[in-house]
Structure 1
Amino acid sequence: MSTRRIVVPLRPGSDGDATHKPTSPSYSEVNPPTIYLERLAAQWMQARGEAVPGMIYILERLPAGYALFQRPRPKDQKIYDKYLYGHPQHKPFDSPNRFFPHFQYIMENGGSSLGCPCTVCNTKGGVLPKTGLTSGFFSKGGSSKGGSSKGGSSKGGSSGASSRTSTQKAAPVATAPVAPQFKGRPKMIGTGMDTSRVDEEGTPDVYRNLIDKLKRHGTLDEAIMEPMSLDWRAEQEILPGVLSKIKKEPQWVPRAGDIVLYVREMPYNATLVRHPTTGVYVFYDRHQKTILDVPRWEAGLVGQTPAEALQEGEKDFSVSYSGVRVEPLPSPNNPDKSLSKRYKYVPVHYTRPFNLWKEYLEQVPQDNWHPTIKNALTVMSTMSLVGKHRFHGTWPEAQIRCHGIYIGSEMLAIGDTVRLLPKAHGESVCTDVLVIKSIRLKILNLDKASTNDYDEGRPYNSEAWIYGAAYTTEPSRSSKEWLTDTKPPKSAQNYPDMYPLHPPNKEIAVPFSRVLGRLFEHDAMLLWLNSAPSLDEGREGLLEARAFGRAHDNRITQSFGATWYWGDTRSEALDLHTINGLEVGKSDTERDPGAWRKKIKVMDGQPNAQVKLDAGHKSLRNFMAPATSKLPVRRQNLLPSSSDSSSGGSSRSGRKREANDESRNEEEIREQMRIIEDDGQPSMSQKKKAKVMVVID
């Protein structure tokens, strides 16, 4: 009977530096590095107390960033000396025995080598302890006295024995029976708590950690959780209520974060109508039947949405409840953001979607425009994602699922019906709509990109795509074979008949830049435009606005080849310092992520802290598809923000650093903030199969 061969999976985290490679041409890479994989696996299983006699163990791979190279010995070309490269101090290991203490330490500490007792980290040479002695010698519990000493010799021998004498002194300690560190399933540090990669604020960089994990495992499908980020925790409380409210309201209702046209005051008994001769929108007195003044339109950000039902008649509450809070939009090119303080609560019918700016202002001389109009036009080529909740992919590509996206002036969410811009060839007007089923950030070419987001190396590519069911008003582009019992979107009622653009078992994927905006209900458009609307309303104005933004937003013009500005949050995309009177983002003078993380550790010290966190995360799963169960509406007027610390590796332009400012807190975090996680490959019952095919349109 043949001996069984067991593949031992790695734990999350690595300190490996892939840039550490030999420079001499006499070296060649050893792939696969079998000698290291087998010896490390055997020593590790023995150190964990899980080795079974007669079994052969082999690691699934080396930790990320490490690679084995060999060169012929100068005096005997038939013999090759092997060296392992990848140490963060750019020092090679000359044998599996010398590497094992370092390997074991980073496996037990989430990839961090801070305090590693190995001889290479401590720049000490000499005799290494035998394989059988390493179980208690370099374990986390056994290295507390001398393991973190980097200066002189260690009295307890935990620095790796700098001489034969010190090795002999350490032997009695090492041979003492040591209980296995893990009982049952080992504890893993989740990607949201792994401090081997941190962002510029010192918060664990969950997106880079997920990319590293994807590289190790080849495939990955994991929920995005950032328990060490107070921003993420706040989003988990706010976002479910925001999404629930969006699903219940018509699409024409302004949403938090939308940019709208609005008037501050409207004469008594007046309404807005289009002048039959000049085409200018004017105030019209319904009782006197006379034309009044031309309104002074402003552009502003919706900070708070109506808390009272939107319907005709007397309101039970003041306009601060039944209306919207609108803050004048400052220029992204001007550090003076005082305009935001001149907010106004106005009834909803005082507002119009900013995508219709040309229809309302085309006949008004630009000299008469309010300054906020051009401020809004300047940010029409901005984008930010909302609610990144799942990471999945197969190396070297990945996707991040999102609950929403801000494109220009509007917020879009799962389940919305949006209009699509015509393709560059063969079409001139808007005829297609899309019911959004998923919003994804694609991350591409990870194998060719630098593993350090803070250096000037090659970045990975990122693209935002929107998937869904598409319909068209042109019967010739549809097929009778695609007809189903599915009704067209609710917001498309009273528009021309809609026909499916693909079979029901397929979806269409479009880049975010093809989205014209939400499809507003026919009755609302009829009221706003005083004429029968078409799907093409606002298209010309939107294209002109995006062109204006590309030409006038300094963040775009100063970045060679850029056509969009991607922000981590809505406030960053619009370069806002305050929203609803509160400082946001980097402008928040009381923002202290380091202090927040300390408080998070205290909160999670409670027995039920993790249960509460998981419950909050599960509440968002109801928003992953249009057909969802209804959740209670939370009366929350805060503006949702995207917790992206990275997407931008893709979407964000800011750089990240690997240096950890909180070295003194790392040990405490590791002891108190562990998350149980199954790091193995998914079982057959867990693997998902695609139910639909995707067509790139």
Structure 2
Amino acid sequence: MKEMGSASEPVARTAVPPPSDNTRQPADAEVPDFWRPYVVKLLENGQIDEYAEEPVSFDSILAHKWITRYDVKPSIDPAYVPRCGELVLWIWDGLEDGSLTLNPVTGRHEILGNDHLWHGLPCWRAGVVTEMPLKDTYMRDITETPDDPHGLIYSWFRVEALPHPLGDDKTYSKQYNYVPLRNIRPFNAWKIFLKDQNWDKSHPSILNAMNVISSWSVVRKYHIVGKDRNCSIHCKAIFIGSELLAVSDTIRLKPEGFEYPDLEEGPVPKITDVMVITNILFQLIDCVDNDPLLLAEHRGVLISGRVYTTDPSRVRKSYSCLFHDPTADENPRPLTPNEVFTAFRQPSMYHYGPWYKMANGEECNVALDAVIGRYYEAPAAYLMFGTHSLEYDLLGVTGGRKWSSQDDVRIPDGMTWFQGKCRAETLGVTELLGVECGPSAPQGDENGQTIVSTARESLHRQDQIHASETPATATLA
């Protein structure tokens, strides 16, 4: 493995000056702080346990329809389908007369033309998914272009190019296109698809995306629980780097004790552990009520869930958990097929088994560093990456985080993550779907109504089309 900054790695840029104050968070006068009254109530009463829904924000608009569909009918949106707000690699055009295929000679994913000749690497860009298709997406769409008479919006994704998060020029957000799934790949897998990339000639949006991989922001806070001066706010989902992860997702966990420099030599370590998310907790430690910029002295996030492993020797090496009997797993029993079906939303999990419970099936907690990304259905992973292994993007995620933590000047010294108040802030965008957004956007009723009307118009179209579909049209392939 080459060092960061080599010919096969992006090189950090210094053309954009850092902001004058990269640690300051917007005050209440700039961004209304919905949770401050609840923190005050915690400090006054010594405890709190209340449900509450934040007012409309662009994050909630982007994720609301997807989360609602995911809760009600998870089969509609499989894990391999890009989600609103996610960063992706995408091809503006160039696949009309060919397909993206792994070249067995070069080991690169290149364009294989209809003339059965190889036409080299596609022109990749990085962008933000801002609209999902109105029609359900099927696994065959990974390699085929949907043939649909309803038009692009019905079966294609809207993707907007990503501007530099710290630059003044945000015009890339106006460069968008509707593209089919076959033109899109997860940004976490950049090391696969940008292999042998000439970074000097690559589209600037790719380096823009590399800059924000070490960032996170939570989505849909809805339940605050606390005691003394500490509290946790339950959330529906969280953006970590390029991905949106939600409760009930199956996510892959980083191999124990491994860091990116370990990959300079030797084989890539195997990923054996996965977690089914049950809670996403935004934590406020040592809450304060006299600071206009902060709610607490310390903030962070924990992801909780049940952990499973394919390595029986790891059953007794559990993660931080609520309960664990170290003598209970001396003779681990693999999950039965019915237990696998019950434990995971994806039926294809049996491809990677046998699976064993960790921590006796009790909830465990992991920090952001332990999360690699969500699990993709095995057939979809093979179609996208040419492999069934769970560690296909391990190099991309860990290498990207290391690069981002060194290059993103918004990250304070000694820290490795940037926490944004919303997705727009972590990406450094001021416009999505043609509407001004983020902490710098006007916060008045007029802008809020614009956000709501823009999003609801799109969602209403989707509801109408799904309601009018015949059973034959709506059946998953």
**TM-score interval, normalised by the smaller of the two chains:** 0.7 to 0.9
- Pair 1:420–1:202, CA change in 2 (3 A): closer
Code of the residue aligned with 2:377 in structure 1: it is: E
The 2-side partners of 1:636 and 1:333 are apart by 34
Deviates more, 1:401-410 or 1:517-526: 517-526
* Structure 1 residues 371-429: Cα deviation after superposition (integer angstroms, max 9, x where no partner): 11111100001100000000011112211000000000000111111111123269943
Higher RCO (C-alpha 8 Å, min separation 6): 2
* Structure 1 residues 477-500: Cα deviation after superposition (integer angstroms, max 9, x where no partner): 233466565215215242243221
State which of 251, 259, 280 in structure 2 corresponds to 1:439: 280
Partner of 2:271: 430
State which of 302, 320, 332 in structure 1 corresponds to 2:129: 302
Structure 1 residue 519 displacement after superposition: 0.6
- Which structure is larger by alpha-carbon Rg, 1 or 2? 1
Partner of 2:299: 462
Work out whether residues 285 and 296 of structure 2, in 8 Å CA contact, stay in contact via their aligned partners in 1: no
- Which TM-score applies when normalising by structure 2? 0.75
Match of 1:255, SS state, is: coil
* Structure 1 residues 5-28: Cα deviation after superposition (integer angstroms, max 9, x where no partner): xxxxxxxxxxxxxxxxxxxxxxxx
Match of 2:339, SS state, is: coil
- Pair 1:534–1:386, CA change in 2 (3 A): same
Code of the residue aligned with 2:65 in structure 1: it is: G
- Pair 1:396–1:341, CA change in 2 (3 A): same
Pairing 1:643-662 to 2, within 5 Å after superposition: none
* Structure 1 residues 418-450: Cα deviation after superposition (integer angstroms, max 9, x where no partner): 11112326994321111111100122233xxx4
The 2-side partners of 1:235 and 1:574 are apart by 12
The 2-side partners of 1:385 and 1:593 are apart by 23
The 1-side partners of 2:245 and 2:383 are apart by 22
Work out whether residues 31 and 439 of structure 2, in 8 Å CA contact, stay in contact via their aligned partners in 1: no
- Which TM-score applies when normalising by structure 1? 0.52
- Pair 1:326–1:279, CA change in 2 (3 A): same
Match of 2:352, SS state, is: coil
Question: Higher strand fraction: Structure 1 or Structure 2?
Answer: 2
- Pair 1:430–1:235, CA change in 2 (3 A): closer
- Pair 1:453–1:593, CA change in 2 (3 A): farther
* Structure 1 residues 227-253: Cα deviation after superposition (integer angstroms, max 9, x where no partner): xx5x36x88787553213333310000
Are residues 1:534 and 2:389 paired? Answer: yes
Structure 1 residue 314 displacement after superposition: 2.4
Partner of 1:507: 363
* Structure 1 residues 341-378: Cα deviation after superposition (integer angstroms, max 9, x where no partner): 11011001110000110011122222232111111100
Work out whether residues 405 and 412 of structure 1, in 8 Å CA contact, stay in contact via their aligned partners in 2: yes
Pairing 1:622-641 to 2, within 5 Å after superposition: none
Partner of 1:495: 352
Deviates more, 1:330-339 or 1:577-586: 577-586
Partner of 1:244: 68
Structure 1 residue 206 displacement after superposition: 3.8
State which of 409, 431, 437 in structure 2 corresponds to 1:578: 431
Work out whether residues 201 and 593 of structure 1, in 8 Å CA contact, stay in contact via their aligned partners in 2: no
> C-alpha root-mean-square deviation of aligned residues, in Å?
2.8
* Percent identity of equivalent pairs: 32
Work out whether residues 88 and 129 of structure 2, in 8 Å CA contact, stay in contact via their aligned partners in 1: yes
User: Where does structure 1 lack aligned partners over 5 or more consecutive residues?
Assistant: 1-197, 598-632, 638-697
Code of the residue aligned with 2:203 in structure 1: it is: H
Code of the residue aligned with 2:284 in structure 1: it is: I
Code of the residue aligned with 2:119 in structure 1: it is: L
Match of 1:375, SS state, is: helix
- Pair 1:548–1:425, CA change in 2 (3 A): closer
The 2-side partners of 1:577 and 1:523 are apart by 37
Work out whether residues 202 and 594 of structure 1, in 8 Å CA contact, stay in contact via their aligned partners in 2: no
Are residues 1:389 and 2:230 paired? Answer: no
The 1-side partners of 2:49 and 2:213 are apart by 34
State which of 366, 376, 393 in structure 1 corresponds to 2:199: 366
- Pair 1:563–1:433, CA change in 2 (3 A): same
State which of 41, 56, 63 in structure 2 corresponds to 1:213: 41
Structure 1 residue 218 displacement after superposition: 2.1
The 2-side partners of 1:355 and 1:330 are apart by 18
- Pair 1:369–1:267, CA change in 2 (3 A): same
